[in-house]
Structure 1
Amino acid sequence: MDPRAVSSPLQVFNNVAAETVVYLANLLLYYKILMNRFPPILPAGCLPLLLCFYVIFQVIYPVHKSKEFWRVIIRSLVAPLCKVDFFATYVTDVMTSSVKTTQDIAWTFCFFLSGDFLLNLEDYHRKGLSWQHSAVYVNLVIPALCVLPLWLRFQQCVRRYHDTQKRFPHLANCLKYSMSFTVALFGVFSPPHSTTTAVKILWFVMYVVSTLYTFSWDVLQDWGLGHPMYGFLRKKRLFPRSSVYYAAVVLDLVLRFNWLYSLIPPGHNPLPFMHSSTLPVVITTNVIVCEFLRRTMWGFFRVENEHLNNTEGYRSTDHVPLHFTTPTAREKPRKKGVLVIGEVLAVTVGGIAMATAAIMAARDQMRASP
């Protein structure tokens, strides 16, 4: 990002403090009007709508600070039609940790567009939210939001393979995201009240395998750790204490299971050892918070490793000369061929096939369940 457009820590703190005050004041006024303890200047449901407009304004303004962010978002959405840089992949990785938040945003849009925010408590308890159980929302909107960030990263890996002609790490990374959205789709489309334990155990095995593969990728590839001669870390490190890296590895292992489960939408519980078909709200909240903390921790070591080692080859040269040195960078060789295009198509078709198989298996289970 442009350094001139980056806010200082004090500005970030001031913005957070101001938005928190606005949110708490809006929440207090909402409950006061709802409980008839404040003159009803306007319907209570209009206050959350005003809060949403305020948040949208904060995201867009000032334009010179937000345009780079939106540019990267657009570049991520059109992958693999354009060249992929490190910042685009980093932002899309963050998007994979924001699935629950994105689902809440979709719920908010449907809530306001349907006009249900104007319902009083009696009408709400009598009618409920009819759109929340509609086929379009349950079978299209929510599943699409669950797998869209994973699919975008999958396509970015395909584009990176096309540009670099290197099967590793890009095709191996494609496999990682294929496994993740296969597990997510199976969990989304499986019947929430199914009593078939065998199917839940199969899903759980897929869940564990995908999580361990993703965790291994974090440690070995994204962070560049795991070298026995350096204490299973790496030679070049920016953090002075080795304990920081060991603690990060342990936390990432635990929280990676939390991340994959965050892809399962509300109302679904494919786990064989939990009898309830839905997750309590408090667990969902903790899942969101823990995943944001894990992704923040992951980002520190990911940027550190890429800065030191250029692991993904985003720089076209192996050596970055200083202003007082003679440029002696060695350009990386490039290969072209029809074989690369064929492999790209094969990987894409394979990813689609895995997702389709997961949906079909879950649908068959739904038809078989009473």
Structure 2
Amino acid sequence: MKFGKEFTAQMVPEWQEAYMDYIQLKSLLKEIQRFKQITKPPVTPDGLKRKHTLYRAFSGLTQRNNNPTGPSSLSNDIESHPIFVNSVNNGGSQSYQTTFLMSSDEGGEYELDYFRRLDEELNKVNKFYKAKVDEVMKEAAMLNKQMDALIAFRIKVEKPEGGFDSSHGPSSDESGDDKDDKENEIVNQKVREQKPKNLKAARPAPLEILSHVKMNNTLETPRSTIKGLLKHPVHAELNYTRENLRKVEDQLKPAFVEFYQKLRLLKNYSFLNTLAFSKIMKKYDKITSRKASKSYMKMVDNSYFGSSEEITKLMERVEATFIKHFSNSNRTDGMKILRPQAIRERHRITFSTGFLAGCSVALILALILIVRARNLMGKKEAILYMDNVFPLYSLFGFIVLHMITFAANIYFWRRYRVNYSFIFGFKQGSELGYLEVLLLSFGLAVLALTCVLLNLDMEVDSTTKDYGTYTELLPLILVLLVLFILFCPFNIMYRTSRFSFLRCVFHCICAPLYKVTLLDFFLADQFTSQVQALRSLEFYICYFGWGDFKQRLHNCEASNVYNTFLFIVALIPYWSRLLQCLRRLFEEKDPMQGYNGIKYFLTIVAVSLRTAYSLDKGMGWKSLAWISSVIAAMVSTYWDLVIDWGLLQRQSKNRWLRDKLLIHNKSIYFGAMVLNVLLRFAWMQTVLGLKVSFLHTKSLVAIVASLEIIRRGMWNFFRLENEHLNNVGKFRAFKSVPLPFNYDEDEDKDE
């Protein structure tokens, strides 16, 4: 792999603009190379000059004297040092400037432009690195104070009369052993006893720290939300119990892991940029036949990001602290947590995914051939089948289609380096790849299609005068199997991802009682495109609970309770999103959340009126459904394109798009906008009552629902692309981890 591609692949996506622009500098070198090739003097035919020079160099006669004093010594010195590099102090910040000493040469203006651009990149990298180091040093001081409180808290819980271990926190140099700990405790105790009362200590005595500390209420629960509304104090008094100690340790542990990851990325940032400057200068020397890389790299090595050792030392101290206090002094276990292994692609997953995909295609072809060969849809019993059985299996079709589109999203997010794992807040190493999602989706597809083939009877049994009990129960058994796997507490079938999904679903249901994260409202948006699937679940309950599934008969649509729940089920996702918007409006004071809430309110009105029209085909309902649906669709389309996707910007350098795009082919964005508008108006089928002669009404409803799922899959990619670019613009590459303790001075600052 060429260095340019490898350099780009190893960048922190959110810091991409802060790295050295290797591609731009390489293009400047290509301009210099083209000029050299155009102005290169012709080579003499006999080549005598070259041979003569070669023989002289080989004989050793040309450079016998190491300190030349002849008239050509000055020109030789300039040739060996074509640049002069120096640092300039501008208002406390150090910058670097390079003077090109051979600008009078032909084509020197190209090289002048190259070194000017090179200095800009060096100063940019140096400034960014220094700013990030300053940030992590402040965080280290904060974590050090948290460790002070943790160790004092631990002493209070485990050994109320014990001493104190001073070798802790990110600022400590060594971890020490048990014997040193006891000696330190004795020394600290003696120092405290002998210290004059009028002498103010720079650092409070170990157990005295706890008098200045309170517990942060970082756990987001409905109870904490209600307390917040009632103006209940956020910080609680310390309660010295082992349960609270465990909670504190569980909160500090991920804080250290996240902090260590930041240090690792900063160290890698320094290494990659140093390597990039070395590579580009070697290319310059090769193209121009000069010897400038040594002088310039000396300046790079002396720069802050090239010579600073703060990050390396801080990493060592964090490792020592974490291993001692969070992994029981077991270095192997501690480093496994600090440096989680990346997920490796497994061949068995690839094979299994391909195998199940092939089985799914084969089952679909078999289903089509059986239906065509037996002319099943031409029989009168087919209407009964489409009214009763088809809605049961269409549920799995909606789920599988949504999972396939999400797998495609993951594939393209990875291809275009969208850091979806960070944006969603997934634990490193626990996120599913597109192959894993495809494996689950094709596995479910195989089970569902097998059940369809087993339950494809159109005629009742001549003996029992009903359909087979076990075959008719297959869709219900499959639903129960999916729910069992989803809620299974054992470590099978990606338990971490399953529980994360269930937790987000619970947050969506309980909105606005939980703090709204991006993953929560992103999942709620997915459910707004699965209204028909939710209605299918309602049909399951009615069909198997009160219907006669042996005769494929039901009276659901004639029930007022069922029709009432048709409204409620369709509105639940939009109502959840509305409450999430109100929660964010209350917390963030952002008026855009209020406008977003209005959008969902309009959608709720439109869905209600369309549902009412589908139940009561009156002209009044039709007019109201038309008006509300047009307004809701127009508002939602504008919000999709302008707010969620960040497109339709007239002043952008990419006309009608945005300034930064991940996909180079701009026509894809325009095509996506047009397609989004068309799919947004798929509801016209329900309002206009469009019918296709060769399609059953249930089939048409399923097709429209599938189009909405496809639209949501397309929306997912551009929505997260826009979120990723916003993070890149603010260099946000790390999530903030809540800390357990709050010091009095921190509380004063907040006030």
1:296 matches 2:721: no
Match of 2:505 in 1: 73
Report the residue type matching 2:602 in the other structure.
Answer: M
1:185 maps to 608
| Residue 211 of structure 1 pairs with residue 633 of structure 2 | yes
- Aligned pair in 2 of structure 1 residues 3, 103: CA closer, same or farther (>3 Å)? farther
Cα 1:86–1:248 shift into 2, 3 Å? same
CA distance in 2, matches of 1:30, 1:14: 24
Give the letter aligned to residue 560 of structure 2: A
Going from structure 1 to structure 2, the CA distance change for 1:319 and 1:162 (only over 3 Å counts) comes to farther
Deviations 1:245-299 (A, max 9, x none): 11110011111112x569xxxxxx543x7599xx822221111111111001001
Q: Cα distance, 1:7 vs. partner?
A: 3.3
Contact 1:99 1:146 in 2 (8 A): yes
Deviation per CA, 1:101-122: give whole Å up to 9, x if none: 11001111222233633x23xx
Q: How does 1:68-147 map to 2 (within 5 A)?
A: 68-114=500-546, 116-117=548-549, 119-120=550-551, 124=552, 128-139=553-564, 141-147=565-571
TM-score by structure 2 length? 0.37
Q: Give the partner amino acid of 2:575.
A: W
Query: What letter matches 2:521 in structure 1?
Result: T
Return the offset for 1:199: 4.9
- Tell whether 2:652 aligns with 1:227: no
Identity of aligned residues (%): 27
CA distance in 1, matches of 2:623, 2:468: 54
CA distance in 2, matches of 1:160, 1:208: 27
Q: CA separation of 1:59/1:205 partners in 2, compared to 1, >3 Å: closer, same or farther?
A: same
1:48 aligns with 2:488: no
Of structures 1 and 2, the larger Rg is shown by: 2
Residue type matched to 1:55 in 2? V
Number of equivalent positions? 299
Alpha carbons 1:192, 1:270 under 8 Å: kept: no
Aligned CA-pair RMSD: 3.2
C-alpha contact 1:176 1:210 (8 A) present in aligned 2: yes
Asked whether the 8 Å contact 1:103–1:145 carries over to 2, the reply is yes
Contact 2:679/2:708, CA 8 A, preserved across alignment: yes
In 2, Cα distance between the equivalents of 1:10 and 1:103?
A: 29
Which residue number corresponds to residue 282 of structure 1? 699
Alignment of 1:226-245 (within 5 A): 226-229=648-651, 230-245=654-669
Distance in 1 (alpha carbons) for counterparts of 2:656 and 2:573? 31
Aligned to 2:586, which of 162, 176, 188?
A: 162
* Paired AA for residue 308 in structure 1: L
Taking the TM superposition and a 5 Å limit, the aligned residue runs for 1:343-354 are none
**For residues 175-223 of structure 1, what are the alpha-carbon distances to aligned partners after superposition, in whole Å with 9 as ceiling and x for unaligned?**
1111111111122234745443x55234312211211111000000001
**Aligned counterparts of 1:3 and 1:270: Cα–Cα separation in 2:** 46
Cα separation, 2, equivalents of 1:321 and 1:244: 27
Residue 723 of structure 2 aligns with which residue?
306
Gaps of 5+ in 2: 1-425, 735-749
In the TM superposition, 1:3-22 aligns within 5 A as: 3-22=428-447
Q: Is the 8 A contact 2:691 2:697 kept in 1?
A: no
State the TM-score, normalizing by the size of structure 1. 0.72
The separation in 1 between residues aligned to 2:537 and 2:453, in whole angstroms, is 21
- 2:574–2:604: 8 Å Cα contact kept in structure 1? yes
SS in structure 1 at match of 2:455 = helix
More divergent stretch after superposition (200-209 vs 11-20):
11-20
Change in Cα spacing, 1:145 to 1:41, as seen in structure 2 (3 Å) is closer
1:142: Cα distance to partner? 0.9
Secondary structure of 2:648's partner?
Answer: coil
The answer to whether the Cα contact below 8 Å between 1:33 and 1:44 also exists between their aligned partners in 2 is no
| Deviations 1:37-90 (CA, angstroms, capped at 9, x unpaired) | 9x9985432222322222223433533330000001111111111211111110
The answer to whether structure 1 residue 320 and structure 2 residue 732 are counterparts is yes
Cα offset, 1:36, TM superposition: 4.9
C-alpha deviation, 1:30, in angstroms: 2.2
AA matched with 2:579: Q
C-alpha deviation, 1:320, in angstroms: 2.4
Q: 2: CA distance between counterparts of 1:195 and 1:186?
A: 11
> Which of 451, 464, 467 is 1:26 aligned to?
451
| Residue matched to 1:346 | none
Q: Secondary structure at the match of 1:4?
A: coil
Tell me, what secondary structure is at the counterpart of 2:456?
Answer: helix
Does the 8 Å CA contact 2:547/2:556 hold for their aligned counterparts? Answer: no
